[in-house]
């Protein structure tokens, strides 16, 4: 009699253990399904991650839709300014000689008043465009040794969702920023203007 009771009790414990294991397996399977449903696959249009390196702080000096007058269509450019003499040189390269500038003389004077022993300036141009609806904004500047990435957003009319919503006026978007010379410089540096993960302009300049 006692042997029969012991056998039945052992069988009941085995059945209970088996039931617990089955419930545990079901819960694990359900958790895996929930996680899989919650994950979103990467999309081709996702914003590129910020590259590794030292983030350089900067101060916006000026931004607008028209830097040069009567400017023909041309690609994006960037100009590095490290002293007062390079102010005129950069503007001549950008706007020709004689200068065909749409910006105010006060802005040019501000450029000349920068303390270039402690800072330098970057003039980023989207390039001449035949219509409105374009803009350029520098979002972040990242240094990687002798390489500096100028991460910018170059907006086009089609990016706004309605390519027809623009007027037939020539524009020449620009963004002018000032960067303090933190860290060690005194070397040639390659500057890359980057839009959506793609280098659209680059130049090498000595930063004293």
Query: CB-based contacts of 176: which residues, under 8 Å, 6+ apart?
Result: 60, 61, 62, 63, 107, 111, 121, 122, 123, 124
Per the document, the length of the chain is 208
Mean pLDDT over each residue of the chain, to the nearest integer: 82
Neighbours of 190 (CB within 10 A): 14
Using CB atoms within 10 A of its CB, is residue 96 exposed (0-12), middle (13-18) or buried (19+)?
middle
pLDDT in tens, 142-190: 999 999 999 999 998 877 666 555 677 888 999 999 999 999 999 999 9
Kindly report the backbone phi and psi dihedral angles of residue 79, in degrees, each rounded to the nearest multiple of 5, phi listed first: -130, 135
pLDDT in tens, 14-67: 656 565 556 655 565 555 544 444 444 444 444 456 789 999 999 999 999 999
d(CA 65, CA 126): 9
Give the DSSP letter of residue 191: E
Domain map (residue ranges) of the chain: 1-40, 54-207
Q: Is the pLDDT of residue 139 over 70?
A: yes
């Amino acid at each position: 009699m006692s042997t029969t009771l012991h056998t039945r009790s052992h069988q009941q414990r085995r059945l209970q253990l088996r039931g617990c294991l089955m419930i545990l397996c079901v819960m694990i399977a359900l958790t895996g399904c929930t996680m899989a449903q919650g994950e979103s696959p990467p999309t081709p249009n996702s914003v590129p991650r910020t590259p590794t390196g030292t983030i350089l702080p900067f101060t916006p000096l000026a931004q607008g839709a028209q830097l040069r007058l009567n400017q023909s269509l041309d690609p994006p450019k960037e100009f590095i300014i490290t002293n007062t003499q390079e102010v005129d040189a950069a503007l001549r390269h950008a706007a020709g000689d004689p200068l065909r500038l749409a910006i105010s003389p006060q802005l040019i004077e501000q450029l000349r008043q920068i303390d270039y022993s402690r800072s330098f300036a970057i003039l980023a141009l989207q390039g001449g465009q035949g219509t409105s609806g374009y803009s350029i904004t520098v979002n972040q500047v990242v240094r990687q040794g002798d390489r500096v990435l100028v991460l910018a957003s170059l907006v086009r009319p089609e990016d706004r969702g309605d390519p027809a919503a623009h007027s037939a006026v020539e524009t020449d978007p620009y963004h002018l920023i000032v960067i303090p010379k933190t860290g060690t410089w005194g070397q040639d540096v390659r500057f890359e203007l980057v839009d959506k993960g793609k280098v659209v302009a680059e130049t090498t300049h000595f930063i004293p």
